[in-house]
């Protein structure tokens, strides 16, 4: 086909080139071409690097949904969302109005797929003061059952009679166990059984005797149950002082106290199989166990507890097969009635334990309340496979726990006189505050956590209290009323 015009191509003369070189538009065009080429090369290299690293899929969900997803400081949608990301490590932060930020780290493999779920907690939780069942009675202990309900141990004067009551979701109270129980009690995690210490039928001290020497296991409906164990007579004046169900629901951890012939006391730790009635001896120790102060590993192989000797309350780790007792650290000084919530948290596999404790230094050894205004506790990690603990950064706080997404939260008081704060801690020691607790707390406080139901029981003692005074117990809930 013949075009209706003629194209002529001529080689430019030297004069034309010199004239073009003096034109700024030509240089702008040249620079634009070079810059565009550089951008194209950079994009190509980045593509090749991404191709070499590979991509992975991350699905992010939350409860409640609709949270803004921020990954490596980039906003990438709202939950639930599925994202394609470069393989490697990423920092994920979820934001939702009225809730504390949820911060996680994920590591993605090329071609892999991962799911990240965040259970968002309220920035300002609901707080409820727990009260005893009767005026004049006091709360001697509190624990969560597996379904999130609360079992309260109530002490009645004048002889410190103990009763166990169940606090239902509607705040109704129902008594658990037989009415004739007078000594220490323990409720199984499923709420179906109550173990209690009782005085044997051959005790000549009569009703109200002070030497319980039998362990009974009863259904929660109030029947007396059956006798599971009787202390032997080989040890003079031995009596049961406390007991606790292990998480496996099969074993009971028993604590007895007896007097030595030459003066002084010893504590025996026993391991009772509730099905076979077999008892194994764990250890004899020269200190007193703080009743109710048990932090169980999920596997029931270890229990952390508080032991009191003289004026010092220490944190110990006990292996229930009797092969090891580890003296971890001192916690309190000069507190005759330390809070019975041990400051520990276990990993889901039972291999690691976190605990909060004051740094062991000459300045902290001068006395006083170690968890009060004078010394904030630091966070440590210990593995059951090795004896050395490792400090987690420089964070300070109390009552740590592991959340289901692997993050660590704990209570802290940024400034004395200010409300308690929920604080998120990463294993590198970096911290993020997640809101304040709407309750009045003195210098001494501790918490027992129920992470599965986003709640805690916080025991607090005011600055005017002495060690012999009972603390206040608060139920703190981090989920809205409608989500419980």
Q: Which residues pair with 402 in a beta bridge?
A: 408
Give the count of alpha carbons within 13 A of 97, CB side only: 0
Q: How many CB atoms lie within 10 A of CB 299?
A: 16
As a whole number of angstroms, the distance between CA 415 and CA 153 comes to 33
Per-residue pLDDT of the chain (484 residues; tens, 9 = 90+): 444 444 444 545 555 545 545 555 555 555 665 655 655 555 444 444 544 458 899 999 999 999 999 998 889 999 999 999 999 899 899 999 999 998 888 889 988 899 999 889 999 999 999 998 888 888 989 999 999 999 999 988 877 688 899 987 777 888 888 877 777 899 999 999 999 998 875 544 444 445 788 999 999 888 889 999 999 877 778 899 999 999 999 999 999 999 887 778 899 999 999 999 999 999 999 999 999 999 999 999 999 999 999 889 999 999 999 999 999 999 988 777 889 999 999 998 999 999 999 886 654 444 443 444 446 788 899 998 887 788 887 778 899 999 887 788 999 886 666 788 998 887 666 788 888 898 877 778 899 999 999 999 999 986 544 445 778 999 999 998 656 5
User: Token pair of 112, please?
Assistant: 């892999």
**How far, in Å, are 95, 143, 366 from residue 414 at the CA level?**
23, 27, 23
DSSP 43: H
Helix or strand or coil: residue 400?
A: strand
CA 168 to chain centre: 23
As a whole number of angstroms, the distance between CA 151 and CA 29 comes to 80
As a whole number of angstroms, the distance between CA 249 and CA 190 comes to 8
Domain positions in the chain are 66-119
CB 101 within 8 A of CB 432: yes
- Closest C-alpha to 379, from 368, 395, 361, 401: 395
Helix or strand or coil: residue 481?
A: helix
DSSP 365: G
- The residues, ordered by sequence, that sit 6+ positions from 83 with a Cβ below 8 Å of its Cβ are 57, 58, 59, 60, 69, 71, 76, 77
């Amino acid at each position: 086909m013949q075009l209706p015009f003629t194209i002529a191509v001529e080689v430019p003369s030297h004069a034309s080139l010199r004239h073009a070189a003096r034109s700024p538009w030509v240089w702008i065009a040249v620079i634009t071409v070079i810059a565009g080429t550089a951008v194209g090369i950079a994009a190509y290299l980045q593509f090749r690097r991404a191709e070499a690293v590979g991509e992975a899929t991350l699905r992010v969900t939350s409860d409640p949904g609709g949270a803004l997803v921020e990954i490596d400081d980039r906003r990438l949608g709202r939950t639930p969302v599925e994202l394609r990301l470069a393989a490697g490590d990423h920092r994920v932060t979820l934001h939702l109005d009225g809730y504390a930020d949820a911060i996680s780290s994920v590591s993605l493999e090329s071609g892999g797929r991962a799911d990240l779920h965040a259970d968002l907690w309220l920035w300002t939780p609901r707080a409820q003061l727990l009260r005893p069942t009767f005026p004049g009675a006091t709360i001697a202990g509190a624990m969560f059952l597996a379904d999130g309900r609360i079992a309260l141990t109530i002490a009645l004067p004048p002889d410190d009679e103990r009763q166990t009551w169940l606090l239902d979701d509607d705040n109704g109270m129902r008594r658990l166990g037989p009415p004739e129980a007078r000594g220490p009690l323990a409720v199984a995690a499923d709420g179906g059984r109550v173990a209690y210490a009782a005085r044997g039928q051959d005790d000549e001290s009569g009703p109200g005797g002070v030497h319980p020497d039998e362990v009974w296991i009863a259904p929660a409906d109030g029947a007396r149950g059956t006798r599971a164990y009787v202390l032997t007579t080989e040890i003079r004046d031995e009596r049961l002082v406390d007991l606790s169900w292990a998480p496996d629901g099969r074993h009971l951890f028993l604590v007895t106290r007896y007097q030595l012939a030459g003066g002084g006391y010893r504590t025996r730790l026993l391991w009772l199989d509730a099905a076979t009635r077999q008892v194994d001896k764990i250890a004899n120790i020269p200190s007193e166990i703080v009743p109710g102060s048990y932090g169980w590993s999920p596997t029931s192989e270890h229990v952390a507890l508080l032991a009191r000797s003289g004026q010092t309350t220490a944190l110990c780790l006990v292996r229930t097969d009797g092969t090891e007792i580890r003296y971890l650290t001192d916690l309190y000084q000069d507190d005759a009635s330390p809070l019975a919530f041990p400051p520990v948290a276990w990993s889901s596999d039972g291999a690691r334990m976190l605990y909060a404790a004051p740094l062991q230094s000459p300045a902290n050894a001068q006395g006083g309340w170690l968890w009060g205004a004078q010394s904030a506790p630091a966070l440590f990690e210990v593995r059951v496979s090795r004896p050395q603990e490792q400090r987690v950064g420089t964070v300070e706080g109390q009552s740590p726990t592991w959340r289901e997404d692997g993050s660590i939260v704990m209570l802290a008081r940024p400034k004395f006189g200010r409300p308690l704060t929920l604080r998120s801690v990463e294993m590198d020691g970096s911290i993020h505050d997640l809101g304040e607790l709407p309750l009045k707390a003195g210098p001494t406080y501790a918490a027992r956590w129920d992470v599965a139901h986003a709640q805690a029981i916080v025991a607090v003692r005011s600055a005017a209290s002495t060690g012999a005074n009972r603390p206040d117990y608060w139920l703190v809930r981090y989920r809205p009323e409608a989500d419980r």
